[in-house]
Amino acid sequence: MPVRSFRPTSPGRRNSTGFSFEEITKSTPEKSLLATKKQRAGRSTGGTITIRHRGGGAKRRIRIIDFRRDKPGVPGKIAAVEYDPGRSARIALVHYADGEKRYIVAPNGTTVGQSVVSGPNVPIAPGNTLPLSALPPGTTVHNVEMQPGKGAQMARAAGAGVQLMAKDNGRALLRLPSGEMRYVAEECLATVGSVGNAEHALLKLGKAGRTRHRGRRPQVRGSVMNPVDHPHGGGEGKASIGMPGPKTPWGKPALGYRTRNNKRTDNMIQRRRSKGRR
């Protein structure tokens, strides 16, 4: 899908790009696969802000995506490729042979009329879902489960793809887009191919308003706050942060400080993600 530039009718339009949406074949979503969700603006059930800089944004309906692909042996046909406001990837509407309709994340190269099926003995073709034990090393997959039967949790964003590196003793070694090497059980399901809409990374919003449409509010630098609000605050004029390294608003190191605390699954990670990635 090509990225197009807009006519420079304003300073914001001059520096923004958008998509042509050539691959979209249906503009209205399937009503039976829609859900509503109240916007909480980053607040918990108690009203406390747990995620900062969230609020506002365009009102959107949630598309119910099938991340389990739990219809083994039932063939389906892609009836339409649609836009999903809740994710960077496109979604595909699948009509199954038993009459059921489901949304899936559209793989790269998805076309209307393409057949998709899941199961351990199905062909290794883009869009088909198989257990990792049935795939040869070197295969690129997406929508990968971390626990068998839980549903896909890894490689669901636009352009994402995971490479199956090896299989040993019931575990499969995967190389994630971040560079991390991670083990998962061979029984975990994965969909062949990579996620479509890889050009999403080339999008330039161009103006602050398009960020607000996504529900993201402005972020304020800690150095312009007061000392009571941020460790970097205070001072006369443009003062340095006055400490060995940058800190979060709660006094924790902001760069190079690992916050992972899950010893139960530490043995599943063979190599941490690459430097420069968060």
pLDDT of residue 278: 46
Residue 169 domain flag:
yes
For residue 186, give every residue at least 6 positions away whose Cβ sits within 8 Å of its Cβ, in sequence order, or none.
131, 132, 133, 167, 170, 171, 172
Residue 207 domain flag:
no
Domains in the chain: how many in total?
2
For residue 266, pLDDT beyond 90: no
Predicted TM-score (pTM) of this structure? 0.86
pLDDT of residue 146: 93
Q: Does one domain contain both 83 and 196?
A: yes
pLDDT of residue 1: 57
Supply the range of the domain harboring residue 155. Answer: 3-37+57-201
Structure tokens at 52: 């900062």
Q: Does one domain contain both 62 and 159?
A: yes
Q: What percent of the chain has pLDDT over 70?
A: 98
Per-residue pLDDT tens for 8-23?
999 989 989 999 888 8
Q: Does one domain contain both 17 and 140?
A: yes
Per-residue pLDDT tens for 209-263?
999 999 999 999 999 999 999 999 999 989 999 899 999 999 999 988 888 889 9
Please name the helix (run of DSSP H) or strand (run of DSSP E) that holds residue 168, with its range, or none: strand 162-168
For residue 29, pLDDT beyond 80: yes
CATH of the domain at 112: 2.40.50.140
Q: Does one domain contain both 130 and 247?
A: no
Distances in Å between the alpha carbon of 176 and those of 124, 125, 137, 164, 186? Answer: 20, 20, 14, 9, 16
Residue 50 domain flag:
no
Separation between Cα atoms, residue 245 and residue 174, nearest integer Å: 34
User: How is residue 71 annotated by DSSP?
Assistant: -
Q: Does one domain contain both 163 and 234?
A: no
Q: Does one domain contain both 252 and 190?
A: no
Residue 272 domain flag:
no
pLDDT of residue 144: 95
Residue 277 domain flag:
no
Q: What angle do CA 275, 175, 82 make, to 5 degrees?
A: 105
Q: Does one domain contain both 142 and 259?
A: no
Beta bridge mates, 18: 4
For residue 241, give every residue at least 6 positions away whose Cβ sits within 8 Å of its Cβ, in sequence order, or none.
222, 223, 231, 232, 247
pLDDT grade, residue 176 (50/70/90)?
very high
CATH of the domain at 253: 4.10.950.10
Q: Does one domain contain both 177 and 234?
A: no
Q: Does one domain contain both 156 and 237?
A: no
Per-residue pLDDT tens for 56-73?
989 999 999 999 999 998
Per-residue pLDDT tens for 121-131?
899 999 999 99
User: How is residue 112 annotated by DSSP?
Assistant: T
Separation between Cα atoms, residue 145 and residue 185, nearest integer Å: 9
Residue 85 domain flag:
yes
Average pLDDT over residues 26-35: 92
For residue 192, give every residue at least 6 positions away whose Cβ sits within 8 Å of its Cβ, in sequence order, or none.
107, 124, 125, 126, 127, 128, 129, 130, 135, 139, 140, 141
pLDDT of residue 3: 87
Residue 216 domain flag:
no
Alpha-carbon torsion angle 266, 268, 270, 275, nearest 10: -60
Q: Does one domain contain both 90 and 135?
A: yes
Residue 210 domain flag:
no
Average pLDDT over residues 136-144: 94
Q: Which residue from 141, 143, 112 is spatially nearest to 125, judged by alpha carbons?
A: 141
Separation between Cα atoms, residue 173 and residue 216, nearest integer Å: 36
For residue 91, pLDDT beyond 90: yes
Q: Does one domain contain both 68 and 153?
A: yes
Q: Does one domain contain both 173 and 238?
A: no
pLDDT grade, residue 102 (50/70/90)?
very high
130 and 124 in contact (C-beta within 8 Å)?
yes
